[in-house]
Structure 1
Amino acid sequence: MARRLLVLIDGEHYLPVIEAALSDLRSRGDEVVGLALLGGVEKLPAGGLDSGTMSAPLVSGTSPADALTKAIAQFKPDAVFDLSDQPVLDPRLRMELAGRSLAMGIPYEGTDFSFTPLRRDEISTRPSIAVIGTGKRTGKTSICGAIARSLAARGFRPLIVAMGRGGPVEPEVIRPHRDGPLTPESLIDLADDGRHAASDHIEDAVLAGVTTIGTRRCGGGLAGAPGPSTFSAGVEVAGVEADAEGHDIFLFEGSGSAIPPVKSDVTVLVVPASIRSEELAGYMGPFRVLLADYVIIVEPGDTDARAGDAEALVSQVNSSAEVHYVTLEPFPTGDVRGKKVAIATTAPLGAIESVESHLRLSYGADIVASTTSLSDRAQLAVELPALIANADVVATEVKAAGIDVVARAARDAGAEIVFIDNQPRLKNSKLTFADLAGRLGELAIERFEKRMHPIQRQSER
């Protein structure tokens, strides 16, 4: 089937070479509907290029990204074919262009590569907010849970659909308000049944206290497409649950760098301040940034100078994204004041001192031991006896081996089990995180209304 191609070219190739390549594309049955000149001058004629010079209409811009964006908008191609090369496009810039093309829903191809847009089904029956990340342990679950909790406090009835690498076989609904809260003992029972009792939807239900639906996925592509996944089925279950229980807004939680394969009304990208620049500005980082309406940069308790780099990179790619900074502060779900407390966390080794200090100063805990090996079962097994030996309370995150190893060992030792909820606090802002969550909810509703009732809204105007 013939495709309408937008072809990217540069001034580092002689025009006869470019035209021969265009003829080759046409010989395959494709139509070249337009060209985008990305830059380069070495082999351009003295008068430059214009549509009269070439065999197809030509667009240029102030930068390669600008030329691509203008050309896609003008020519509305079925695919972009890249015939440019070094020095006009280095690997990072080429990946940025691929990300921009995918963000506009257009496949991006070249002589030995092909990227296809992420499929995002439009099946949500309620306004929706997607929370995605640049990778694992960025703070997505903490941010998603805090948004849901804040919306619930404002009178919304949120429901979270999460996907994880340890999720249930079929979409699973957890209703804390109706069925009762999940306790440490009930989670240990799940682990005893062979379940991943610290899956994201369970963590959300425990700490946010809202209805959640758990799904699973395996693998993920460069642009965030999950491999085999039950997420879409989970969103369909969410629609049924919302009709029955009155839920009025959905949150779609990503997994690692995988993006929920269902279209949302608002997208929040969670980025660690420590991210390497090539992960955010290269690879498919720009694609994720372009999807985002809001970018939340998660800083450690002490200010990290690299966070400014992350904001600058975001602004270069998507200047319309609203950027906020947060720190994640550990909140114990039970009373730890005056008690001997052992901490089990997935936090980086360099952050454990801040975690200990916060629990000591804000909640009066007497910290007797800690580990950051919650996601390393072999190392955790070595540290576990000393961790719980002198503890009255074991405070653990609902992650990794938090339930099947740490909580079970604490119970067997007769220690009290308390969960740690890493709650976001906005930095350098007049807003509270609850205010930000309210904005997200209002924007999701506004966009949902426009999407579902476009004809009615046009008539009102």
Structure 2
Amino acid sequence: YVSNVREAAELAASLHPGLVILEGSGAAIPPVPWDAGIMVVPATAPPEYLGGYLGPYRLLRSDLVVVTMAGDPSGSENLSALRSPVRRYLDDAAFILTDFVPVALEDIRGKEVFYATTAPLTVVERLIRRLEADHGCTVVGWSARLADRAGLVEDLDAVQGYDVLLTELKAAAVDTAVARALDRGAEVVFVDNRAEAVEGSVDLDTALGGAIDIALGRAEDRL
């Protein structure tokens, strides 16, 4: 196959940034050597993806495993099965459970909000409670059909009024939801979905910082 990852990595390293972060695509592994690896796995992933196929190889090349969407009911039942192969190859400290938390990128305190998301229906109510608790807003309408323009329009039109459209940044958000919100005189605020550790005493920032320290230490030893 054709890839320019190696050339890109070499160019990035030539700038002497101190740290270069490469992101794989899906199950792909960057075709360059690295000093530390972080594996990101959805809580809904079949356990054999970690315990079989090339899963053990990926685990052995990783220093940290971050499980996302641990709060999804369909994923929470799967966590013990995912943890088993990780324990086989890595210690418990390398396994971090996280869930995505919606974070408004502007102040929406005291505002009535329409919330547009691609989150599964099973978690939307929990996300709304978190938004209201963290940001002091009132969610008067919502849509989990941000990837379905026709459905999104139906959900938007079903709500009489709102001060702010709070939406993830997706194509339909820009060409459909934002346009309709502005036509109604509403503000538009984008929302970020940030991973937050939901188990144990180590937060995600600390775990990621530990992986970075490992990479820097190995690079120093190598050089």
TM-score (norm 1): 0.43
- Unpaired segments of 5 or more residues in structure 2? none
Runs of 4+ in 1 over 6 A off after TM superposition: none
In 2, distance between residues paired with 1:386 and 1:283?
47
Per-residue CA deviation, residues 287-322 of structure 1 (Å, 9 max, x unaligned), is: 333322111122117792421221113223x23571
| 1:338, distance to aligned residue in structure 2 (A) | 1.4
CA contact (8 A) 1:301 1:354 kept: no
1:350 — aligned with what? 122
| DSSP 3-state at the match of 2:174 | helix
1:444 — aligned with what? 215
Q: Which of 235, 240, 247 does residue 9 from structure 2 map onto?
A: 235
Give the share of equivalent positions with the same residue, in percent: 33
Q: How does 1:17-36 map to 2 (within 5 A)?
A: none
| 1:378, distance to aligned residue in structure 2 (A) | 4.8
Corresponding position: 1:270 with 2:40: yes
CA RMSD, Structure 1 to Structure 2 (Å): 2.7
Q: How does 1:144-293 map to 2 (within 5 A)?
A: 228-239=2-13, 242-243=15-16, 247-293=17-63
| 1:237, distance to aligned residue in structure 2 (A) | 4.6
CA contact (8 A) 2:37 2:61 kept: yes
Higher mean alpha-carbon deviation, 291-300 vs 395-404, is at: 395-404
| 1:263, distance to aligned residue in structure 2 (A) | 2.7
Seen in structure 2, the aligned counterparts of structure 1 residues 411 and 264 have a Cα distance that, compared at 3 Å, is farther
In 2, distance between residues paired with 1:271 and 1:261?
20
| 1:400, distance to aligned residue in structure 2 (A) | 5.2
CA contact (8 A) 2:104 2:189 kept: yes
Per-residue CA deviation, residues 210-259 of structure 1 (Å, 9 max, x unaligned), is: xxxxxxxxxxxxxxxxx65554444345346x45xxx3212222233333
Question: What letter is aligned with 1:365?
Answer: C
CA contact (8 A) 1:293 1:320 kept: no
| DSSP 3-state at the match of 1:262 | coil
Question: What letter is aligned with 1:331?
Answer: V
| DSSP 3-state at the match of 2:201 | coil
Greater Rg over alpha carbons, structure: 1
Query: How many residues end up aligned between the 2 structures?
Result: 220
CA contact (8 A) 1:411 1:417 kept: yes
| DSSP 3-state at the match of 1:414 | coil
Q: Which of 431, 435, 459 does residue 202 from structure 2 map onto?
A: 431
In 2, distance between residues paired with 1:402 and 1:285?
36
Q: Which of 71, 82, 93 does residue 310 from structure 1 map onto?
A: 82
- Unpaired segments of 5 or more residues in structure 1? 1-226, 454-461
Question: What letter is aligned with 1:335?
Answer: D
| 1:403, distance to aligned residue in structure 2 (A) | 3.2
Question: What letter is aligned with 2:84?
Answer: A
| 1:385, distance to aligned residue in structure 2 (A) | 3.4
Q: Point out which structure has higher relative CO (alpha carbons under 8 A, 6+ apart).
A: 2
| 1:412, distance to aligned residue in structure 2 (A) | 4.1
